[in-house]
A and B are shown apart, each in its own frame.
Chain A
Amino acid sequence: MNFLTDYIYYIGACGLILIGLYILLTKHNLIKIIIGISIIDTGVNLLIISIGYKNDGTAPIFSRPGLIAENMVDPTVQALVLTAIVIGVAVLAMALTLAIRLYQHYGTLDMRKIKEQRW
């Protein structure tokens, strides 16, 4: 049980990344693939956050007396995740735009049927 409580966030993050990769590798619908990319992004963000997390930690602000710096969570990773989320949203928006365009051209989102460009 100790292992689970200590590493639950890492396990969750790795699980999300693997689920995302599985979706990318096995699904053929473009929307599902985009969802897979989004899940990978979420997993990576959770991984980064959990690296800086402390059990029973406080926010990294000296808001009241008596707070000790050692008990604070790492603020750097949260800044990183903010940036990563924004980038993820940009990629997601781009992907959905392209998906709409692709549907207009082909009338389908099945990637098996969209193979004009190859070798």
Chain B
Amino acid sequence: MVNPILLIAVPLAFAFSIPLFGLISKRAGRFIPPVAMLFNLVLSIILIPDVLESPVSVFLSGFPPPFGINLYVGPLGILFSAVIALVGFLVSIYALDYIKEGAEEKYHMLYLALLTGATGVVLTGDIFNLFVFFEILCISSYGLVGYLGNKAGVESAVKYLIQGSVGSAFNLIGIALIYGQFGTLNMADIAANINSVSPNQLFIPLVLFIVGFGIEGAIFPLNAWLPDAHSSAPSTISAVLSGIAIETGVYAIARVTFTIFGASDILLFLVLLGLLTLLAGELSAFSQNNIKRMLAYSSIGQMGLILFALGIGTDYGIAGGLFQFINHALSKALIFLATGYMIYRMGSMEISSLEGIGKKMPVSSLCFTVGAFSLIGLPPFAGFPSKFMIVLSALEKHSNLFIVFIGIVFLGTVIEATYFFKVIQVLYFKGAPAGVPAEKKTEISPAQETIKDRGVITGAPIAALIPMIILALLIILIGVYPKAVDEILNASSIELLDRVKYIQGVLR
């Protein structure tokens, strides 16, 4: 069996070798991220059958846990690492053609470092190691948000950095308090001894962790950085930040709450937080004119939905939440990639400027539509089974409170559907009717002038179309045949709930 540590070591080594490749050829750097991520994807898929049989725990430098640092590769970790590698691979192919200006090498280096950090967060079994990987993720994303170096990018990066570093300071205080009480940093060891101290002493570390990871995961009162950062970064980075980085934050909350603390008392709080996040995100998205800002708020709403599903606390509900993780990673990455070239061709992020683009960039618009339908939860796409699972598991709680909550989730979905359909309508049905000559179009709407200035609008290049089509096909495939991910989702939700098995898997 292959050692899962390669999942972290190889992309990290590749990331720092990119400047060396740059010495050979200026263009070589851009081909490294696809290679590294393809390696990760293949390795993750190879590992899945082994991991489903029994989780793998590897430790470094000969010190068995709890003394050494260990990686715990359970179903949940390998699921996330596969999704990260898949999205990272496809987005890096898209970036081959998309990233043309600025410090290219540094972009690709930071991009790989971000994905390495995310992979490390989901695989590690040591709480301080989790913090370190989280910082790798955060610092690279600060750099990537400000990558274009323009006014908006730098300003958003500064805001993101200030809030992010406060979050990581909170995490570190939480870790310090945990270490002070248990004298260990190994998650399984902490989980095994969690009942030996009084719950009051655990409350503060738990709150600090939820706040710290909540800032990265854009939970409602802490989400101020996200719309700025996601809308001013390049579209490839928005795709990775939305699809991977914030999901990693929510993953960390789930890992800390379920595995380490086993805190079933605060699940209702998580549910309420999730609903608040859902409503705040969807309502703000509804009133946006800037398409990337709208998508960023929609990501906040989706994180709320995932948190709601995790907070239900039954194995079926958590499986639904994890399904929504996959769905959101694929769909939101697809939507951001599709809008990337639309914005690039039209030179504007206003929704109204995208009028009639459905006929000029048919594939991009179709991909946008697939992603949007999947996020809304329409039947043939991946969003339908995931939302169905979440609603069904909430109904199975048999409490009136949860029926009200389901109503709120449906309200959020309706709002979501409204603003996505608004955009789809602009894409396909607005603008001059077919057959009117181009000269007359410019008279009708001033937004068309940009089109004329830039000459003929062409579709996205082939390197951008392939990843988009693959993502769209995957969404439809999972939507039509959700059983494909059924087994690993159930195993992952059991991993989160069954703490005894986790502890035994590590400490043996």
Seen from chain A, the residues whose Cβ lies within 8 Å of a Cβ on chain B are 17, 20-21, 24, 30, 33, 37, 40-41, 44, 47-48, 51, 76-77, 80, 83-84, 87, 90-91, 94-95, 98-99, 101-102, 105-106, 114, 116-119
Contacts and interface: CB of A to CB of B under 8 A. Distances in A.
Give chain B's interface secondary structure class: helix
B156 A102 contact: no
B135 interface: yes
Q: Most A CB atoms within 10 A — which of B132, B154, B284?
A: B154
A44 B155 contact: no
B176 A91 contact: no
Given A24-B162, A101-B149, A119-B284, A87 B155 contact: no
A114 B158 CA distance: 11
Contacts of A30: 158
B180 A37 contact: no
Contacts of A118: 228
30 contacts: A17-B169, A21-B166, A30-B158, A33-B162, A40-B169, A44-B173, A47-B176, A48-B172, A48-B176, A51-B180, A76-B185, A80-B175, A83-B128, A83-B132, A87-B132, A91-B161, A91-B165, A91-B168, A94-B139, A94-B142, A94-B143, A95-B162, A98-B154, A101-B146, A101-B149, A101-B154, A102-B154, A105-B155, A116-B155, A117-B232
Nearest to B176: A48
B452 to A, nearest CB: 28
A98 B161 contact: yes
A42 B128 CA distance: 17
B100 interface: no
Given A94-B143, A116-B152, A80 B128 contact: yes
Contacts of A47: 173, 176
Contact of B158 (A41, A84, A99, A119): A99
B172 A95 contact: no
B132 A77 contact: no
Contacts of B154: 98, 101-102, 105
B135 A87 contact: yes
Contacts of B143: 94
Contacts of A24: 162, 166
Nearest to B184: A76
B38 to A, nearest CB: 29
A95 B152 contact: no
Nearest to B140: A94
B179 A98 contact: no
B440 interface: no
B169 A77 contact: no
A40 B231 CA distance: 29
Given A17-B173, A51-B180, A98-B154, 20 more contacts: A37-B162, A40-B165, A40-B169, A77-B176, A80-B128, A80-B175, A87-B139, A91-B139, A91-B142, A91-B165, A95-B158, A95-B161, A98-B157, A99-B158, A101-B149, A102-B158, A105-B151, A116-B155, A117-B232, A119-B227
Nearest to A90: B139
Contacts of A114: 155, 158
Interface in B153-205: 154-159, 161-162, 165-166, 168-169, 172-173, 175-176, 179-180, 185
Interface in B114-151: 128, 132, 135, 139, 142-143, 146, 149-151
A81 B33 CA distance: 32
A51 B176 contact: yes
A44 B157 contact: no
For the complex of A and B, the 10 pairs showing the least CB-CB separation, nearest first, are: A117-B228, A51-B180, A101-B154, A48-B176, A105-B151, A40-B169, A87-B135, A44-B172, A98-B158, A37-B165
Contacts of B156: 117
B231 to A, nearest CB: 8
A6 B202 CA distance: 22
A5 B308 CA distance: 46
Contacts of A102: 154-155, 158
Q: Most B CB atoms within 10 A — which of A24, A30, A91?
A: A91
B295 to A, nearest CB: 15
A117 B152 contact: yes
Nearest to B162: A33
A110 to B, nearest CB: 12
B147 to A, nearest CB: 11
A105 to B, nearest CB: 5
A106 B151 CA distance: 8
Given A87-B135, A94-B139, A44 B176 contact: yes
Given A17-B169, A40-B169, A48-B176, A94 B232 contact: no
